[in-house]
Structure 1
Amino acid sequence: MRNIASCYNEHAIKVTDSYCSNPSNQVLYHIPSVRNVVTCIYKVKVAMEKQFFVKVTWCNMLQHGFSLHISEKLNKNFKKVVTTDKVKGSKTSELFCSRFDICWDLSSAMYDEGPEPITGYFVKVLVNSEMGLSLGEMEHDNEAKNLNVDDTFSRFVLVSRSEHYSGCSVFATKAKFCDSGTCHDILIKNSSAMLFVSIDKKSVIQVKRLQWNFRGNQTIFLDGLVVDLMYDVHDWLFNTKTGCAMFMFRTRSGLDSRLWLEEKNLEQKDEEKVGFSLLICASKNPD
């Protein structure tokens, strides 16, 4: 019996060097839009196999700031814990029969093109005195170092990332689809006539006559994984004032034979094994 990778390989686009050997597949780069909102959801496991989901949203609409929400279920009943533009602080909340201690320091944070700091910062979430989520650099974390923290059982993984762009029709980002994979450069160029998507400078989809083909999907074989690329640019094309375009990359587990799952099956899958998804949302206007 063939494995799942070999079955999908017959119809999926493989992101390899040979695929890009033809000059017609080379990417023409343009100045990309700037991200103004980034939301990341992490699955956090602590002792006794207790599991939480932590959603961190970075925003620079007016000035750099972030918010943090916590839930027991993926994409359900997130409770707001922190919303602030303060560069340093801490907060304690009692949720889901657990104590959450959050501390952060962005006073020395460095930013690239977007709201998410890249260095010189930390955000820590402690669950019942156990380290749950640790973002940033430990050497800047003098406050957390002084805490009595047990990180023996702690482990967290990024399961979802969404990015919001506005204005331009060219979007560039990076994504890692699994822990053992590499970080990939993703470029999306969306015009009124054609949609172009590349990964690591290799074309994975080119859609012409976009006004007729404004929704669709493509299967990609990447890092030994089956990745579904889905797009919807209907509102971007036909709503001139507030139109938006959406692009989703989602890993498919070996048990998934369908692109879309019923809601109840999807909820069960979320509980058993959470993959990774990247959502890119683009709007013509900042509002």
Structure 2
Amino acid sequence: MLKNLKGAALPNVPRPPPSTGKQKENQVTTDNAAQCSVTSIYGANIGDLYRKVTATWCKSPVSHSFAISVESPCDDQSHNTCKIDLNGWQFWGKKGLKNIEIDGERVDIYWDFRETKFNASPEPCSDYYVAMVCDEKVVLVIGDMKKDALKRTKKKLSLIDPNLLCKQEHICGKRLFCSKTKLGEGIQEHDIIIENCLSDPDDPEMWVTIDGTTIIRVMNLHWRFRGNEIVTVNKTPIQIFWDVHDWLYNKSSSSHGLFIFIPGEPDSNSIINSDDDCNINIPKFCYVLYAWKTE
């Protein structure tokens, strides 16, 4: 599943479309709202099958939305999606219930965003839940209010725990890009800061900091615009891949750098093969960050 790009062992993940037009820091245009988004992909047992569930938070100057979709493991083109508008003036829609049908199974989706707190990210930071119910069991809860979700649904948690497979985030900035994500097991989130200094064309540099400690310093980006290193965070090895070619050579008003964080040693990131008839490949967790550099 992971392929190498020329010049570095960089996993081949989908690239976003090129941006157009001038943009301000921490703001995106309506036409390129994907630059301000957070997408998490979970694996959950729904209808007695392992399925991928994609949750996406998007924010632009004129809209703020959440969408959750369920993928059929036997048909990659089949998606069932529930969309929720998070605009502040629609208070009535901040707590609700919708249902979708997946291979003949009814799936109920509950949410409560009435007291939700946000920071700079499109994704909430606290006080919310999204719960997915199938076959009288709660198969997935997103957010920090699990007890409230269980109380409202009046259902028990599924005996098969869901797992987070991948998180993908788009962030805009000039020299500094800040994010927060889990790396490895446990509930702890880590602060990630990526900083660049491209003002000196003869000696461009880049730094990657996790939890206040600079773990990677890349000098002379002209020669090392693609690369990878293995670092240790709280005794956990983390593989970090980067590709910042566009930062240096893309002349448009907005260009992106790509960063991928994969917990574990290289030989431990094998694909887990499912025993289901569809033979699903389950990758270990990775965090993908698109750092959009704006003028």
TM-score higher than 0.5 here? yes
Contact (CA 8 Å) 1:47, 1:154: kept in 2 or not?
Answer: no
Change (3 A) 1:202 1:271: farther
Partner of 2:58: 59
1:251 aligns with 2:250: no
For normalisation by structure 1, the TM-score amounts to: 0.73
Q: Which has the higher helix share?
A: 1
Measured in 2, the distance between the counterparts of 1:152 and 1:70 equals 17
Task: Tell me if 1:159 matches 2:165.
Answer: yes
Matched, 1:99 2:99: no
Displacement of 1:194 after TM fit? 0.7
> Which amino acid is the alignment partner of residue 39 of structure 1?
T
Q: How many residues align?
A: 245
Matches within 5 A, 1:42-121: 42-45=42-45, 50-61=49-60, 62-73=62-73, 76-77=76-77, 79-85=79-85, 86-121=93-128
Q: For the residues of structure 2 that align with 1:239 and 1:230, how far apart are their CA atoms?
A: 20
The code of the aligned residue for 2:107 comes to: F
Task: Give, in whole Å, the separation in 2 of the partners of 1:235 and 1:125.
Answer: 39
- Indicate conservation of the 8 Å contact 1:188/1:197, yes or no: yes
C-alpha offsets along residues 39-87 of structure 1, whole Å, 9 cap, x if unaligned?
A: 1112223685x3222111112213332111112459x546141122142
- The structure 1 residue matched to 2:233, chosen from 222, 228, 243, is 222
Q: CA 1:84 to 1:180, structure 2 compared with 1: closer, same or farther past 3 Å?
A: closer
SS at 1:216 equivalent:
strand
Task: Report SS of the residue matched to 1:145.
Answer: helix
Structure 2 gaps of 5+ residues are 1-24, 28-34, 86-92, 199-203
CA displacement 1:249-286 (0-9 Å, x = unmatched): 012467448xxxxxxx8584994654211111022359
Which residue does 2:132 correspond to in 1? Answer: 125
Q: Residue 184 of structure 2 corresponds to which residue in structure 1? A: 178
Deviations 1:187-229 (A, max 9, x none): 1102321110011222221111112211111112334433210
In 1, Cα distance between equivalents of 2:283 and 2:135: 24
Q: Does 1:277 align with 2:286?
A: yes
Q: Deviations over 1:134-157 (max 9, x none)?
A: 12314654xx63544232414122
Contact 1:46 1:130 in 2 (8 A): no
Separation in structure 1 between the aligned mates of residue 293 and residue 118 of structure 2, nearest angstrom: 24
Partner of 2:221: 210
Measure the CA separation in 2 of the matches of 1:245 and 1:254. 22
Question: Structure 2: how far apart are the matches of 1:254 and 1:245?
Answer: 22
Deviations 1:98-149 (A, max 9, x none): 32111212122111221111223221111222101112314654xx635442
Unaligned runs of 5+ in 1: 1-31, 258-264
| CA 1:95–1:181: 2 relative to 1, 3 Å | closer
Asked whether 1:190 is paired with 2:196, we answer yes
Greater fraction of residues in strand: 2
